[in-house]
Amino acid sequence: MNGVPRSQQSKDAKKSAPLTRDAEATRSSILDSAEDEFAANGLLGARTEAIAAKTGVTKAMIYYYFQSKEQLYEAVLERAFLRRLQIAQSINLAAMSPDQALERCLRELLIDVSKNKNLSAIFFYEAVQNKGKYYNKFGAMSLYGVLAGILEQGVAKGNFRQLDPMHTAVNIVGASVFYFCTRENIKHLWAGKNLLSSDMVEWHIKEAIELIMNGVRASDG
């Protein structure tokens, strides 16, 4: 993540101890590098050599800590999965109207996706390349359950129109993350602009929220 090879680090090296022997730090560094690599290339395409190089350790370390590429991948996926779920769960939804809750949830999701481009790519690869094999180990309800819950309440209270909560939750996430996932294909649509600049990201967030909020609201709102 920081690009500094561990072999060149000197951080609090106790006297003449061999350069940086910090198991927890190494493990965590490997996870960071692995997340980048898996996001770019998927489980199959990821190269352990590349992960080792980014971390600044040798390939052997990968296997020392994670036994296999597959187990490293599972560790990355679990960490990513829990991180995104926690964002949704950290919001006190009960205290808000369905309208407020949905908009708040959406904004948090969009900000998270814009900051953490890796997750969307990893989840996509997981779905297409691995057919959800690992995703479904954690599965449960994840973000979709939270969104569907809000939508269901909104329909019951009359804030939202008649809609299917689960289908709509999935379509909402699609409208939110597609821009980031497919950005390298669609960059020519905004020639000269950087799609990840804060201007463009804020614009996308605004447009996505407006599309979705108008899309679910009851017409007599």
Interface residue list for a second copy (CB under 8 A): 39-42, 44-45, 121, 123-132, 135-136, 139, 141, 144, 161, 163-164, 166-168, 170-179, 181-190, 203-204, 207-208, 210-212, 214-217, 219
- Minimum separation from the CB atom of position 104 to DNA (A): 41
Using the rule CB under 7 A, is 70 a contact of DNA?
Answer: yes
Q: Which stretch binds DNA (CB under 7 A): 67-75, 151-159, 185-193, 195-203?
A: 67-75
Q: Cα separations (Å) of 6 from 18, 55, 135? A: 11, 7, 31
- Minimum separation from the CB atom of position 182 to a second copy (A): 5
160: phi then psi, degrees, rounded to nearest 5: -105, 155
Q: 69 contacts which partner out of DNA, a second copy, none, CB within 5 to 8 A by kind?
A: DNA
> For the stretch 25-43, what's the b/e string if a residue is b when 16 or more beta carbons lie within 10 angstroms of its beta carbon?
ebeebbbbbbbbbbbeebb
- Minimum separation from the CB atom of position 153 to DNA (A): 46
Q: Please list every residue from 145 through 204 that binds DNA, using CB under 7 A.
A: none
Among 46, 109, 151, 212, binds DNA (CB under 7 A): 46
Q: Which residues contact 161 (CB under 8 A, 6 or more apart)?
A: 155, 216, 217, 218, 219
Tokens of 169: 């939750």
Q: Which amino acid is at 23?
A: A
Cβ-based nearer residue to DNA, 26 or 118? 26
The rounded distance, in Å, linking the Cα atoms of 219 and 29 is 50
